[in-house]
Amino acid sequence: MKLNFSLYCKSLASTCLLALAFIAPAQTPLSCGQSDAQAAFDAAHPGAAEARAAREEATRNAARERTQRGGGDDELYIIPVVFHVIHDNGEENISDAQIQNAIDILNADFRKMNADTGQIVAGFVNVAADVDVEFRLAKRDPQGNCHSGINRIQSELTYEGNNEMKQLINWPRASYMNVYVAASAAGAAGYTNYPSDWGANTDGIVLRHDYVGSIGTSNPYRSRTLTHECGHWLNLPHTWGSSNSPNEEDNCEIDDGVEDTPLCLGSPVGLCDLDRTTCGSLDNVQNYMEYSYCGAMYTMGQRARMRVALNDDIADRNQLWTPQNIDETGVYEEELLCRAEFSVDRQEVCLGEEVQFTDASFFGVTTWSWDFGDGSNLEGSDESIHRNPIHIYEQAGEFEVYLTASNASGAVTSLDPVVIRVLDDGMLPAPMVEGFESGQGPWSDGQWTVQTQDGQPWQIRETTGYSGARSLYVRNRQNVGGEITRVTSTTFDAGDMAAVFIAYKYAYSHRTTGETDDRLKLQVSKDCGESWNTRQFHRGIIDLPTAEPHGGNFYPSGTGEWTGHIEEVDNEIYMVPNLRIRFEFESKGGNNVFIDDINVYGVDSLGNVQSLVVDMETTALSLSLFPNPTTGEAIAAAQWPGDGAVLILRDAAGRLVRQEQLRGNGGRRIPLDGLAPGVHFIELNAADQRVVERLLVLR
């Protein structure tokens, strides 16, 4: 076989997953993510590519020796496997059955027990191999606890499918083969790396969910994806060599390091031409490491190369199948009932909304008994009814849910409850004024929650506020970039309103080291938090900075280092009794960010502010201004005793701007418009009483 070793070394980088897709005339197959993934890997681990190239000759010699030896190499290697399903409660959260189906297909392929071995063309029947490797789901976790071998983690990183996602969870590679299932595999059907002494915390296989097995979200056409990837994970290149570029003329000059796979150009994705001859001999089109979509075999040479990898200490592959590791991971243990656990699609819902419960107990459960915490219970043995029930909460509050799983041998109950928080309609006051002051407002009443993916969270700053002592801030100066934190409200009753206005103040500065594109988003949800729409997007390179860059931690020194925004939401789909609001901050390595003085109010079709004055017939003298701050228009809600009152508007210097006689008894709403930027004082006089409120008009 002709080998251009310099070209091979240059292209010997990492592996990629065959971008398998269900071929249809109007559907384009996914491309492979190898090139970008490997470039990132090599940049993070200098020397890795050179080390792979340096040991290639020794790998080939060891594989050749095993092939020539003939017998004596028939030990069955067992590889413990753990699946990490990274999901966002979508279809990517595939079932246990789909995962087991993928394992079954993988084992049939590696043991040459796949049904389509009978279709292998005559030229390769004699080299088709039983690799003598089996993969089994682990039954114990790294701490020795009983486990199903399947982890499920909710994270928006499922849409990335990158190395950052893999670092959410990674079991020791000396004990487990890590397989990740996600909504995306970095834009491909999946990818992995060759064995390496580098990157232990990202070692594993990433698969897009619809390329796992042959059932569920996948299909039989895509079912060899994991087989292809495991070949890469055990140091197999593609049949045309270590690149992701099949059907190129130069491929006849490159070798895959396997003696019984003929030189070939490689099949274009989805081309299953069994008579294809590209480099002077019949191509092994049905090889699992091809792109033909009709893989049915590994060769004896590939078998030898994979078994060399399993006997090498590179990436600890030689530790996986040892008797000690087989015992510690429990792959041969009986499937005894040992744990009751479950997951939910949402832990925070509104009244009348469904909660989906999904049983994850193991092993051999025949009866399920659910305690939903609100006085409702469900028990039975009908898997279609009792295993994964849906429950609707009819009262607000927090409810602890337990599951008891049982079979003929006994019963176990979930150790820690899952807490479901059920929100009532209109929990926030209308209008809502939030200044984050101690003992005042929704924050002090527990009506905001903070969710932080990583980095610094939204938290109270005790000594920095716009109009008071406190504000909410992210200590972004401590972040390095990429961190996301959110603060989310409970519900605001926008039902029957024509529009909702959301006003707030914010402050931010860059570091003196340069500009960054940090992002502050105002988002609203029409369905109690199940989905979110971004209404305002402040960016570090556009409108987020409110002060000059700071070398140390930025804390606004006065109102001049703040600015504000008022967002009008008038789409009728958001006029619901359980409207929710949140602020999301994504760090890009800038300085601290602050929000304060959040005002939320609804107006009806006549422009009246919702619930601003519940009962205008009152004997108390009071004055409320909303929104405050404003951009030039506001509503004054005035209440007074007697037959009339006087409303006086002055500027910051005390000069009279406007004066209005208010006739009648009780009170009224007074529109204030055309206000110039700056500070104004609104005064209400009636029955020898006086009240003054400060109104800020933004530029």
> pLDDT tens digit string along 179-218?
999 999 988 888 999 999 999 999 999 999 999 999 999 9
User: Over 70: is that where the pLDDT of 8 sits?
Assistant: no
Instruction: Decide if 26 is inside a domain.
Output: no
How would DSSP label each residue in 333-365?
A: S-----B--EEES-SEEETT-EEEEEE--BS--
What pLDDT is recorded for position 10? 29
Query: Can you list the positions of beta strands (E) in 318-447?
Result: 342-344, 348-350, 354-359, 367-371, 377-380, 390-392, 397-407, 410-413, 418-423, 432-434
Question: For 463-542, where are the E strands, in sequence order?
Answer: 471-474, 484-489, 499-508, 519-525, 533-539
Q: Which two tokens stand for residue 283?
A: 């191509």
In angstroms, the CA 219 to CA 311 distance is 34
Q: Can you give the pLDDT at residue 643?
A: 80
How far is Cα of residue 428 from the mean position of the Cα atoms in its chain? 29
Q: What is residue 440's predicted lDDT score, i.e. its pLDDT?
A: 87
3-state helix, strand, coil in the chain (%, to 5): 20, 30, 50
Report which DSSP code applies to 249.
Answer: G
246 secondary structure, DSSP code:
T
Indicate the DSSP class of residue 446: T
What average pLDDT score do residues 674-696 get?
A: 89
Mean pLDDT, residues 560-587 taken together: 95
- Which of 299, 329, 359 terminates a domain? The answer is 329
- The reply to whether 38 falls in a domain is no
State yes or no: is 693 an active-site residue: no
CA gap 293, 333 in Å, rounded: 36
Distances (CA, A) of 1 to 5, 216, 262, 385, 409: 12, 43, 8, 61, 61
Token pair 């020795």: residue: 144
State pLDDT tens for residues 268-303: 988 999 999 999 999 999 999 999 989 999 999 999
Please tell me whether residues 220 and 285 are part of one structural domain. yes
Q: Are both 124 and 269 inside the same structural domain? A: yes
What secondary structure letter does DSSP report for 579?
Answer: B
Lowest-confidence pick of 441-455, 565-579, 638-652? 638-652
pLDDT, position 626:
85
Q: What is the mean pLDDT of residues 444-470?
A: 93
pLDDT tens-digit map of 587-634: 999 999 999 999 999 988 877 777 765 444 455 788 888 888 888 888
pLDDT tens digits for range 306-354: 999 999 999 999 999 999 999 999 999 988 999 999 999 889 999 999 9
Q: Which residues of 25-58 are buried (b: 16+ CB within 10 A; e: fewer)?
A: eeeebbebbbbebbeebbeebeebbeebbeebee
At residue 32, the pLDDT reads 57
CB burial of 141-174 (b: ≥16 within 10 Å; e: otherwise) equals beeeebbbbbbbebbebbebbbbebbebebbebb
Asked if the model's pLDDT at residue 412 lies above 60, the reply is yes
Is the peptide bond preceding residue 629 cis, with omega within 30 degrees of 0? yes
- Based on the fold, state whether residues 631 and 686 are members of the same structural domain: yes
Q: Flag whether 70 is in a domain.
A: no
Task: Tell which of 568, 603, 638 closes a domain.
Answer: 603
Higher pLDDT, 145 or 608: 145
pLDDT score recorded for residue 82: 98
The tokens for 83 are 């699946």
Identify the three-state secondary structure at position 506. Answer: strand
CATH of the domain at 414: 2.60.40.10
Is residue 94 in some structural domain? Answer: yes
Place of tokens 């190395």: 163
**Does residue 24 form part of some domain?**
no
pLDDT for 34 equals 64
Neighbours of 186 (CB within 10 A): 21
Same domain, yes or no: 199 and 289: yes
Residue among 50, 56, 134, 229 flagged as catalytic = 229
Residue with tokens 């580098």: 198
Region 525-549: what's the mean pLDDT? 96
Q: Does 525 map to a domain?
A: yes
| Cis peptide bond N-terminal to 627, omega within 30 | yes
259 in Cβ contact with 303 (< 8 Å): no
Range of the structural domain that residue 597 is part of: 432-603
Does 613 map to a domain?
no
Domain co-membership, 79 together with 155: yes
Do residues 381 and 449 share a domain? no
**458 and 395 housed in the same domain:** no
Are residues 411 and 449 located together in one domain of the fold? Answer: no
- Of the two residues 452 and 608, the one the predictor is more confident about is 452
Beta pairing partners, 677: none
The domain boundary residue, chosen from 405, 423, 441 = 423
Which secondary-structure segment (H or E) carries 301?
helix 300-310
Residue-level pLDDT at 1: 36
What is the pLDDT confidence band of residue 483, given thresholds at 50, 70 and 90? very high
Q: How many domains does the chain have?
A: 4
Range scoring the smallest mean pLDDT among 132-136, 382-386, 493-497, 629-633: 629-633
Evaluate whether 462 touches 470 at the Cβ level (below 8 Å): yes
Which CATH number characterizes residue 512's domain?
2.60.120.200
* Burial of 6: CB neighbours in 10 Å, binned 0-12, 13-18, 19+: exposed
Displacement of CA 112 from its chain's centroid (Å): 37
Taking alpha carbons only, the member of 175, 193, 268, 274 closest to residue 230 is: 193
In this prediction, what percent of the chain has a pLDDT beyond 70? 93
For position 619, what pLDDT does the model report?
59
Residue of 278, 252, 332, 301 lying closest to 63 (CA atoms): 301
Domain CATH code at residue 662: 2.60.40.3080
Whether residues 241 and 369 share a domain: the answer is: no
Given this model, what pLDDT does residue 24 score? 36
Nearest Cα to 426, choosing from 637, 570, 601, 571?
A: 601
Of residues 43 and 550, which shows the higher confidence score? Answer: 550
Q: What's the pLDDT at 245?
A: 83
- Let me know whether 573 and 641 are in one domain: no
CATH code of residue 275? 3.40.390.10
Q: Give residue 4's pLDDT.
A: 35
Q: Are residues 175 and 110 in the same domain?
A: yes
Provide the 10 A C-beta neighbour count for residue 225. 28
The C-alpha angle 667, 668, 670, rounded to 5 degrees, equals 140
Cβ atoms within 10 Å of 321's Cβ, excluding its own: 18
Is residue 484 domain-shared with residue 399, that is, in the same domain? no
Which residues, 6 or more positions from 679, have their beta carbon under 8 angstroms from its beta carbon?
651, 652, 694, 695, 696, 697
Establish if 556 belongs to a structural domain.
yes
Arithmetic mean of pLDDT over the chain: 90
Whether pLDDT at 442 is above 90: yes
Mean pLDDT confidence for 476-483: 93
Residue 137, H or E segment = strand 133-137
297: nearest Cα among 213, 244, 227: 227
pLDDT tens readout for residues 82-121: 999 999 888 999 999 999 999 999 999 999 999 999 999 9
Q: What is the pLDDT of residue 29?
A: 58
